[in-house]
């Protein structure tokens, strides 16, 4: 049986932290933003860079204790991160460089975000060791989630599965920042701990997924 057969299709159905209806609602919200970007003659690469700059600003605000404002700007930056891909499709498809730039700046944005959160932990708590370590694990796990997918695609397989891809991670962290800004400080620690755990679980899911796909591919090659 080939890797594109029924079993492989089932393997691609990974559970996700966010329900499908919420993702669909988000795409509906983005439609007018994409139309505005087209009207302003913005390119997807420009949107990508603006999104990173907003993340940088928001992370600096979070590090300085301006949590609610930081969460609001992070939300705007995250929406722009989704807009660049939609804009590329609306303009007839993206470029190889655009895809590279988007992926690279996504990783940079995540690193900047977790650094901002860790910086806030250092100033907000008398004993920040465990929250900061959780942020480090969340950052490392996030990078491993992205790397596992990229490496799978490098060998011709798909690994777009798992509980916590990038959108889910951002939603959890932004929600934690917003709740901490409202005075519920443990929410941000909890969000970071959950992200750390989910990223580890997602990497394990992707390793298992790619192993199964590789077994089907090997079986198919033997049969041929």
CA 210 to chain centre: 20
Q: At 123, phi and psi to the nearest 5? A: -95, -25
Closest C-alpha among 144, 161, 65, 49 to residue 106: 49
R_g over Cα of the chain: 19
Distance CA 12, CA 34 (A): 29
Tokens of 193: 């701990």
Closest C-alpha among 161, 60, 38, 68 to residue 113: 60
- What contacts 218, CB < 8 A, 6 or more positions away? none
Distance CA 157, CA 38 (A): 34
Residues with a known catalytic role: 106
- What contacts 66, CB < 8 A, 6 or more positions away? 181
């Amino acid at each position: 049986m080939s890797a594109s057969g029924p079993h492989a299709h089932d393997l691609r159905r990974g559970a996700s932290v966010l329900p499908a209806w919420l993702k669909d609602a988000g795409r509906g919200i983005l439609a007018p933003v994409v139309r505005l970007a087209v009207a302003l003659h913005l390119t997807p690469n420009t949107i990508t860079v603006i999104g990173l700059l907003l993340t940088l600003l928001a992370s600096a605000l979070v590090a300085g204790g301006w949590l609610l404002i930081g969460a609001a700007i992070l939300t705007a930056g995250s929406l722009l991160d989704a807009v660049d891909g939609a804009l590329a499709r609306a303009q007839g498809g993206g470029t190889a460089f655009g895809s590279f730039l988007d992926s690279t700046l996504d990783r940079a944005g995540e690193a900047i975000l977790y650094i901002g959160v860790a910086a806030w932990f250092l100033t907000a708590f008398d004993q920040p060791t465990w929250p900061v370590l959780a942020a480090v694990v969340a950052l490392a796990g996030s990078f491993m989630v992205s790397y596992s997918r990229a490496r799978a695609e490098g060998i011709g397989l798909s690994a777009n599965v798992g509980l916590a891809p990038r959108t889910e991670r951002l939603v959890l962290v932004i929600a934690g920042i917003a709740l901490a800004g409202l005075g519920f400080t443990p929410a941000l620690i909890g969000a970071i701990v959950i992200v750390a755990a989910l990223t580890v679980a997602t990497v394990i899911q992707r390793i298992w997924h790619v192993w199964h796909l590789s077994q089907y591919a090997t079986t198919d090659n033997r049969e041929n």
